[in-house]
Amino acid sequence: MNIDLTGKTALVTGSTQGIGLAIATGLARAGARVGVNGRNPERVEKAAAEVGGIPVVGDVVEGADEVLKALPDVDILVNNFGVFESRPALEITDGEWRRYFEANVLSAVRLTRAYLPGMKKRGWGRIQYIASDSAVVTPEEMIHYGMSKTALLAVSRGFAKEAAGTGVTVNSVIAGPTHTGGVEDFVYSLVSRDLPWDEAQREFMRRHRPHSLIQRLIEPEEIANMVTYLSSRQASATTGGALRVDGGYVDAILP
């Protein structure tokens, strides 16, 4: 399959590291002009140089004005930015519930609201939300995070209906447990820090993600492969979906 995104402009939020950086790299390799986004100018410049993309410095949670000024129109929007941490359920405060909704959900809604009209007018566009297995299998150690990712599935399906018949597709990607720097810290918060990484990863999967069929963490590039495909003309009939790159973790035929 020859995926060619030449002539398309993409924005990947939160793309200076981890899954976002892998997605930006995948889209750029397919020929897209990619906006690499983050809040720290130095990190954004470094990541953009690595990807061969455009540095887009701006906070997507605090209004996203800088982002929209840098990239007034895009053909591909990947809402990747998100926050997560473990917290006992009864200790999650009202402020934390609001923070997770605003960061993980409302930031994506705001950008969709800004970019979708232009995509509809041009008759082509791709919008994606990076969700999580936690959207379907709510983790007891971070239900505020799971709630926000479940909300993204509803947001994605709803905006797909708004874009019906326009040539714009809207999908969510359910990413399974993925190997990133932040996840390494999270893994070590749940298992002994005295373990070498390979052993810590196996112990984490055994104790906390036992339903994974690949029995390992997913690499960011594996998520990026799905996103790159969904961004292509070949994926023109795939919309309103929640597509899984979860290593078989979700024990269901459908999400």
pLDDT, tens digit, 9 for 90 and up, residues 129-174? 999 999 999 989 899 999 999 999 999 999 999 999 999 999 999 9
Averaged pLDDT, 111-134: 98
What structural domains does the chain harbor? 9-178+219-245 (3.40.50.720), 179-217 (no CATH)
Alpha-helical regions (H) of 32-142: 41-51, 65-70, 94-101, 107-122
**Total residues belonging to the chain:** 255
Positive or negative, the CA dihedral 24, 228, 134, 68 is: positive
The DSSP-derived string for 135-165 is GTS--TT-HHHHHHHHHHHHHHHHHHHHTTT
Tens digit of each residue's pLDDT (9 = 90 or more) over 196-237:
998 999 899 999 888 899 988 999 999 999 999 999 999 999
Lowest average pLDDT, out of 65-79, 118-132, 174-188, goes to: 174-188
Cα gap 22→212, rounded to integer Å: 22
Residue 255: its pLDDT value, please? 63
Residues 18-74: tens digit of each pLDDT: 999 999 999 999 999 999 999 999 999 999 999 999 999 999 999 899 999 999 999
Query: pTM for the full model?
Result: 0.94
Please give the positions annotated as active site: 145
Euclidean distance between CA atoms 104 and 109, whole angstroms: 9
Angle CA 64–111–53, to nearest 5: 75
Strands 168-175 vs 76-79: parallel, antiparallel or unpaired:
unpaired
Helix axes 197-208, 181-190, angle to 10 degrees: 70
Residue 109 has pLDDT above 90, yes or no: yes
Q: What is the Cα–Cα distance from 68 to 71, expressed in whole angstroms? A: 5
What band does 186 get if pLDDT is binned at 50, 70 and 90? confident
